[in-house]
Amino acid sequence: MKNYLSLVKFSHTIFAMPFAMVGVFLAHFLNDLSFRWDKLGLVLLCMVLARNAAMAFNRYLDRDIDILNPRTASREIPAGLISSQSALIFVSINCVLFIGATFFINQLCFFLSPIALAVVLGYSYTKRFTSLCHMVLGLGLALAPVGAYVAVANAFHVIPVLYGVAVLLWVSGFDIIYALQDEGFDRDHKLNSTPVALGKVNALKVSRVLHLVCAVVLVYNGYMLSAFHEGIGMIHWVAVSLFTGLLIYQHTLVSATKLDKINLAFFTTNGIASVIFGALVVLDFYF
């Protein structure tokens, strides 16, 4: 179990999960729905199952690449802790359970579930042919607030879509930062990324622009939310300010010649940003 939790980097669910909770509570907030614990449980289950499938499939597909990279050679499949066949079975089980869980949510989620899986699994192929792979990863996590909203409201709405756009920009930006450490390896092995395509300095500039636009989208979304519901308050703007501040902070930790704090910028800072934002926005919906 420990090996499989490590395989899927279970701790990294902290990035998208708070935004899924924003989607859940936003649906109740905008539609005055009574709270249902079963729906919340199913949303959480779907988040875990989809991410398990996506991460395990990524590790399965990249096994021959990972064994060549000193940074990733100790991962579970190249290290022999989990066989590639077992990893693929694990992916299949999680995909089947994910689709099954959506069946018990509503018909719309059930019909859309294969599309969601296609996005989150398809990301693993993208570094083989496009430097925009970071955007596809961002799109996969952007489904969290949109899918969670649809699970509760059984309909789409522009507000969770805007939250999804913000997540896409945020994740794409910090994934570019994370990719800096493999720029040389990726170039040598003809793998695509923004650092490979543009170089480290320009890749960091792209990351900053993505995060700047992310902050603008969150501000715009706040005003849009005010137009749909008069209840939005100061807590929401505090959430946006803190999230933006942490985006700025992570860019002070990393430069083209200073990569030793990438893990701090990637996991710690973004994890804290996501949790704080999600918690404060949900509080604002109620207070």
pLDDT value of residue 58: 94
* DSSP-derived secondary structure for 220-285: HHHHHHHHH-TT--HHHHHHHHHHHHHHHHHHHH-BTTB-TTHHIIIIIIHHHHHHHHHHHHHHHH
Query: For the ranges 11-20, 90-99, 125-134, 182-191, which has the lowest average pLDDT?
Result: 11-20
Which candidate, 202, 141, 133, places its Cα nearest to that of 170? 141
Q: What are phi and psi of 258, to 5 degrees?
A: -130, 95
Give percent of the chain with pLDDT exceeding 90: 76
Distance CA 76, CA 73 (A): 8
22: its two tokens: 């924003």
Q: Distance between CA atoms of 203 and 216, rounded to whole angstroms?
A: 20
Q: Which fold has domain 2-286?
A: Tetracycline Repressor; domain 2 (1.10.357)
Whole-angstrom distance, CA of residue 265 vs CA of residue 249: 8
| Domain residue spans of the chain | 2-286
pLDDT per residue as tens digits for the range 153-169? 999 999 999 999 999 99
Q: Report the alpha-carbon distance of residue 173 to residue 167 in Å, rounded.
A: 10
In terms of Cα–Cα distance, which of 212, 125, 145 is closest to 172?
212
- 98 Cβ partners below 8 Å, 6+ apart? 46, 49, 50, 53, 113, 117
- Binned at pLDDT 50, 70 and 90, residue 231 comes out as low
Cβ count within 10 A of residue 94:
22
Q: Which residue has the higher pLDDT, 262 or 190?
A: 190
Q: Report which listed range, 64-68, 166-170, 179-183, is most confident.
A: 166-170
**What is the DSSP annotation of 69-121?**
STTTTTSTTTTTSS-HHHHHHHHHHHHHHHHHHHHTT-HHHHHHHHHHHHHHH
Confidence class for position 230, pLDDT limits 50, 70, 90: low
- Token readout for 82 is 């989990």
- Sign of the CA dihedral with 273 first, then 278, 284, and 287 last: negative
As to burial, measured by CB atoms within 10 angstroms (0-12 exposed, 13-18 middle, 19+ buried), residue 27 is buried
